[in-house]
Amino acid sequence: MQSHKISCGALVIRDDKILLVRHHRPGVHDFWVAPGGGVEGNEELARAAERETFEETGIKAMATRLAYIDEGWSESQRLLKFWFLADYMDGEIYISANPAEGESIVEANWFALDALPEGHVFPEPLRTRFTRDLASGFPGAVKLPLRELLF
């Protein structure tokens, strides 16, 4: 039986760079992703993206608009993730305070949009259309195609 999860992430931009975290578990997975995670209780989606950003990176950000709606599936899970554009507000990267167990976050950093790290980077539009979407101001949220979850 599949579990269902609602998740939110923040595409935090500062000085034309985006904040990404690296999840690495040797022999299991190694990928970079914008900060994010599961929505808790009656939490609003944008607040979840802000909270997860702070928990994973120590960075305070303010979600400004919905950018992407991302659907994923695997044998065991169905995921719906809302990606928000977010403005950097305050803080320096600090990954040691994350309360979530088993996330395997080993580093975080700011990356120029044309110099993203090698390997898997999520959400997938960061490598393809994000710069163009950002320049257009995201007049509406973009629904991404259903994709199989790799990790």
- For 73-113, the pLDDT digits (tens) are 999 999 999 999 999 999 999 998 877 777 799 999 999 99
**pLDDT for position 103:** 79
Reported as a pLDDT band with limits 50, 70 and 90, residue 1 is confident
Q: Give the pLDDT confidence score for residue 5 in this predicted structure.
A: 96
Which residues form the domain of 85? 3-148
pLDDT band at 48 (very low <50, low <70, confident <90, very high): very high
Q: How confident is the model at residue 143 (pLDDT cuts 50, 70, 90)?
A: very high
The pLDDT > 70 percentage for the chain reads 100
What is the pTM assigned to this prediction? 0.95
- 35's enclosing H/E stretch is none
Give the model's pLDDT for residue 2: 87
Instruction: Give CA–CA dist 56/52, Å, rounded.
Output: 6
CA atoms within 13 A on the CB side of 86: 32
- 109-127 pLDDT, tens digit per residue, is 999 999 999 999 999 999 9
**Residue 96 gets which letter from DSSP?**
T
What is the tally of structural domains in the chain?
Answer: 1
The string of pLDDT tens digits covering residues 56-79 is: 999 999 999 999 999 999 999 999
15, pLDDT greater than 90: yes
Query: pLDDT at position 147, please?
Result: 95
Q: What percent of the chain is predicted at pLDDT more than 90?
A: 90
CATH of the domain at 118: 3.90.79.10
| Among candidate residues 65, 53, 73, 51, the one with its CA nearest the CA of residue 133 | 65
Q: Are 53 and 10 in contact (CB under 8 A)?
A: yes
